[in-house]
A and B are shown apart, each in its own frame.
Chain A
Amino acid sequence: MATLVLALTLTGCTGGGERREVIVTGSTTLLPITEVSGEMYTESHDGIAILVSGMGSSAGIESVSKGSSDIGTSSRELKDAELDLGLEDTPVAYDAIAVIVHPDNPVSDLTTLEVRSIFAGVITNWSEVGGPDLPIGLVNRDEASGTREAFSKIIMDDAQFDHGAVVLPGTGQVRSVIADVRGAIGYISLGFVTDDVKAVAIDGVEPSEATVVSGDYPVQRVLHFFTKDDLSDIARDYIEYVLSPDVQDTIVRDAGFIPITAKEAIGD
């Protein structure tokens, strides 16, 4: 802080001064990318701070459009009402949403329609989809979640979620509950899937990098950085850093996401 004040004094603080930080707010799904790349960036760029927080995609979009953060991260597209906020979209990674069940659950393949019926509360027992006679325990995300938004758009197709589903406010909580309850089903980003839970195939396609890139796995989405056009130079530089092969092939892939460059590579 002292050096910042000193630097501002020495340069005469013209034109609003140069901030030595980038504020990144938004989706919890993107946290593994933004946190790790932020730390690496700080280390390699003379201590420029990348301040990361995860409050949900909607909060990120609201925050960047109001100017209280430099970058709003989002795991969903802009809604109609958000289109005229003047936000610039930079896709940073692909992600698949995996439908997960308890590892002991023998069901390992569901159709889109079955998943929709389960989450709408129409199918309530695993025996209806070829499993044991066990009630289905629905686990949903809160409505601030970009994952819920994307899942709703791709799978639910305007059908309403069952009101009786347990609502949990975080990816990690969904995973730990499903790892613990035999009849439970939920959905989380593919990057968060561990051996504690089992990701089921949708319409016969397992979620993986290959099936996402080929477009065969249906429940996939693009992860975004949203910015305004008065972006600071260091924020712009940080975004370029995130898009560089260095970050895309290491941090993004390690976090279980698919590099934004992967599809272009196929296209070539």
Chain B
Amino acid sequence: MTEPEQTGRGRVNGGLKMMSRATYIREALLKNLFLLCAIVAVAAVALIFVFTTARGWEVVKDPGLAAFLGGTEWSSTLGRFGILPLVVGTLAITLGSLVLGAPLAIGTAVFLSEIASPRMRSIVRPAVEMLAGVPSVVYGFFGLVILRPIAAELTGGMGFGTLTASVILAVMIVPTIATLTEDALGSVPPGIREASYAMGATTWQTIYKVLLPAAKIGIIDATILGMGRAIGETMAVVMVAGNAPQFFKGLGAPIATLTSQIVIDMSYATGTHKTALFGLAIILFLISMGLVALVRALSRLNAKKA
């Protein structure tokens, strides 16, 4: 607990050379400690990637890359491991959650950033942040008990499937998108906002014509990260999606995703089946790398423009 004080004195002394030897060593140790933290984080990602790739790359031999990536049936008893139904399932549920969740989240962010009084903001913002802290199994349980019967009424099926999963995921991605969108709106220079009002624009005109376009790239970033969250979510999806590895047959029909299939199969998978599950993990890893790369590219674009 004495470190901050020491650093403070170091700064007062002006430069490392004026430090006592003890302070110098402490500073060097701390610097390396933080470097170590960063290395551990990077190594964790690298190790996970190496491990899943090592366990999963053999899908190119058995069942073969074409049968794996292009196969239309996932059935472990028949030894068929085609991921297309799972990819379609993941896309359908993710798309559904974005259609429902993104407008909700962006609306929330606009409200927090532009409309809410400080008092209102102090209520709404923690509530939104709390959504991010609710464990996914609780979302899943809520979906299973409350939303599934409603979806069953609406679609005439059993309520397991794309609709229920999308609604649950829409709520789950709201905090991600709302928080980042609010940041993006907050970083629009106040001058732009004031200029708009000075021209006689109403609040709505300012938001719609000035602020949202100005924060566009930040909002797209936020949505992409929300999408990443939706693609990766597992527990809540397993509980409400119905886990049937079939192609999308309507909002009320059961469906499986890349993540839910791994959970359902992992306890008993052996041999090729296990390799195929690691293959699914590689696909998920590549998707999330792709999304992160997209976000980085967009923010570089944004920086260049600014």
| Distance to closest chain A CB from B256 (angstroms) | 8
Please, what's the 1-or-0 string for A16-48, where 1 marks a CB less than 8 Å from any CB in chain B?
Answer: 000000000000000000000000000000000
Main secondary structure, interface of B, reads loop
Residues of A within 8 A of B158 (CB): 137, 139, 166, 177, 181, 183-184
Q: Are B268 and A169 in contact (CB under 8 A)?
A: no
Looking at A55-63, A189-197, A225-233, A260-268, the stretch in contact with chain B turns out to be A55-63
Chain B interface size, under 10 / 10 to 19 / 20 to 34 / 35 or more? 20 to 34
Looking at B91-99, B208-216, B236-244, B290-298, the stretch in contact with chain A turns out to be B236-244
Q: Give the docked Cα–Cα distance between A180 and B144 (Å).
A: 11
Q: Are B245 and A163 in contact (CB under 8 A)?
A: yes
- Given that A165-B254, A166-B242 are contacting pairs, would A144 and B156 also be in contact in the complex, using a CB cutoff of 8 Å? no
Q: Are B159 and A181 in contact (CB under 8 A)?
A: yes
Q: Which of A157-189 contact B (CB under 8 A)?
A: 160, 163-169, 177, 180-181, 183-184
Q: Which of B236-268 contact A (CB under 8 A)?
A: 238, 242-246, 249, 253-254, 256, 264-265, 267-268
Residues of A within 8 A of B278 (CB): none
Residues of A within 8 A of B270 (CB): 62
Q: Are B76 and A143 in contact (CB under 8 A)?
A: yes
Q: Give the docked Cα–Cα distance between A55 and B256 (Å).
A: 21
Q: Give the docked Cα–Cα distance between A160 and B80 (Å).
A: 13
Q: Are B157 and A137 in contact (CB under 8 A)?
A: yes
| Distance to closest chain B CB from A167 (angstroms) | 4
Q: Give the docked Cα–Cα distance between A160 and B246 (Å).
A: 14
- B13 located at the interface, meaning its Cβ lies under 8 Å from any Cβ of chain A in the complex: no
Q: Are A166 and B265 in contact (CB under 8 A)?
A: no
Q: Give the docked Cα–Cα distance between A195 and B130 (Å).
A: 39
- A135 located at the interface, meaning its Cβ lies under 8 Å from any Cβ of chain B in the complex: yes
Q: Are A164 and B268 in contact (CB under 8 A)?
A: no
- A249 located at the interface, meaning its Cβ lies under 8 Å from any Cβ of chain B in the complex: no
- A142 located at the interface, meaning its Cβ lies under 8 Å from any Cβ of chain B in the complex: yes
A178 closest partner in B (C-beta): B158
Partner of B243, one of A62, A137, A167, A181: A167
- B60 located at the interface, meaning its Cβ lies under 8 Å from any Cβ of chain A in the complex: no
Q: Give the docked Cα–Cα distance between A177 and B158 (Å).
A: 8
Partner of A56, one of B73, B160, B268: B268
Partner of B244, one of A160, A164, A169: A164
- Given that A144-B268, A177-B158, A180-B149 are contacting pairs, would A163 and B75 also be in contact in the complex, using a CB cutoff of 8 Å? yes
Residues of B within 8 A of A (CB): 73, 75-78, 149, 152, 156-160, 238, 242-246, 249, 253-254, 256, 264-265, 267-268, 270
Q: List 20 A-B pairs, Cβ < 8 Å.
A: A56-B267, A56-B268, A62-B268, A135-B156, A135-B157, A137-B158, A139-B158, A142-B265, A143-B268, A144-B267, A160-B77, A163-B75, A163-B244, A163-B246, A165-B254, A166-B160, A166-B244, A167-B264, A169-B243, A181-B158
- A-B pairs with the 3 shortest C-beta distances? A144-B268, A167-B243, A58-B268
